[in-house]
Structures are given as C-alpha cells and as structure tokens.
Structure 1
Amino acid sequence: MPVTLEVKGENQMRNLAEKLTAEGVEHKLWIERPENTPTCLATRPYPKSFIASYFKKLKLCK
C-alpha cells in the first residue's frame, strides 16, 4: 500500500536518497527540470519491517 511522507526540505530529501543508496535500497529520486529540484523519492516495494527504519522520523503528508 503506497504511503506519502513529508520531508522538511530539499536537503532532507537528498540526504535520505544518499543514505538509501549507501545501504543498497533501490529507489528513484525525481528531479524537476530545469530547476534541478528534487520533488519525490520512491522505493521499490519492500517489507515494512525492512524499510521502516529509514522513514521513521518522517510524518504522514496531509
């Protein structure tokens, strides 16, 4: 089931993407052009128990 979480800014999204890359978690960071701004990060489907630790500090987007 898809979940949408909120980050506080561009730096937090880029740091999360770097951490996921370092840990070998498959993901995609969408970059808006021509502004070169990250707008979305998506992971491939993983069991919640495996991926929850990376996203536990983020809040649900309302």
Structure 2
Amino acid sequence: MATVAACEHLTMYIVVRKDLAKTLKWPTGSVMAQACHAATAVLHTTRNDSNTIKYVEDHERMHKVVLETKNEETLGDLVASLQAHNIPLYRWVEQPENIPTAMATAPIPERSPEVKDLFKKYCSLYR
C-alpha cells in the first residue's frame, strides 16, 4: 500500500459480530475485548508498514471506526472482499473456542472509496 500524504488521515476500521451480544449473549466487555484483540494484532502484524508507523507515531490523533456485522458469515464475506482489494487486516479468532469474532484493518487512508463501499455493504456503526 502506498504511503499517504502527511495531511491525509489514516483510519483503522474495526468490525465485530453483532450476534455475539444479541444472539449468543456475550457480555459487552467480552465483545469489546474481541475488537481490542483484532486492533492490537493488526498493528503488530503490520508494524513495518509505512502507514502503520505514521499512525502510531501520531498516537494523539488516531482515527478508528468501530462497526458491526450481522454474523460469522458476513464477517467472513467482508474479510474476503477486503483481502481481494489488498487491504491489510487481521481477523481475530477466539481460542480455544475457534470462533471468528472480529477483524481490524491496518491504518488506511480514510478516503478509500472501494473500502467504504465494502463496509457499507456488510456493516453498520457499532451500537
């Protein structure tokens, strides 16, 4: 992924499964932990990427968007679509249960139209 201009904001998109809380009755704290796991993992796995370096160096102005997707299937579809667009991400799978729970993108330019369209297709703002 190309380095962005200094004035352009980088954004991390974090997506959790809505059904964890609504259907499976996971506590809110457990759902938030899944989002944190995914966000931490993607920063670690992309730590040498120029956008990640810029993002963490400007830690006082980090941008994140937290979204929800319907279930495991839609999370998987989103991950596959983002990977097809070469968007670096990390899909968190909770162990030992082996349950895909969340995903986070590496910091990317917030004006990526193809990415915004994918998120609109599979997600809504987390509530």
- For the residues of structure 1 that align with 2:76 and 2:97, how far apart are their CA atoms? 15
1:59 aligned residue: 124
Candidates 97, 103, 119, aligned match of 1:35: 97
> Which one has the bigger helix percentage?
2
Q: CA deviation at 1:40?
A: 1.1
Q: Secondary structure at the match of 1:3?
A: strand
| 1:33-53 CA distance string (max 9 Å, x none) | 122111111001111221312
- For the residues of structure 2 that align with 1:53 and 1:47, how far apart are their CA atoms? 14
TM-score for the superposition, normalised by structure 1: 0.87
1:12 aligned residue: 74
Q: Which runs of 5+ in 2 are unaligned?
A: 1-62
- For the residues of structure 1 that align with 2:77 and 2:120, how far apart are their CA atoms? 14
Q: How many residues align?
A: 62
Letter in 2 for 1:48: E
State the superposition RMSD in angstroms: 1.1
Percent identity between the two aligned chains: 37
Runs of 4+ in 1 over 6 A off after TM superposition: none
TM-score for the superposition, normalised by structure 2: 0.46
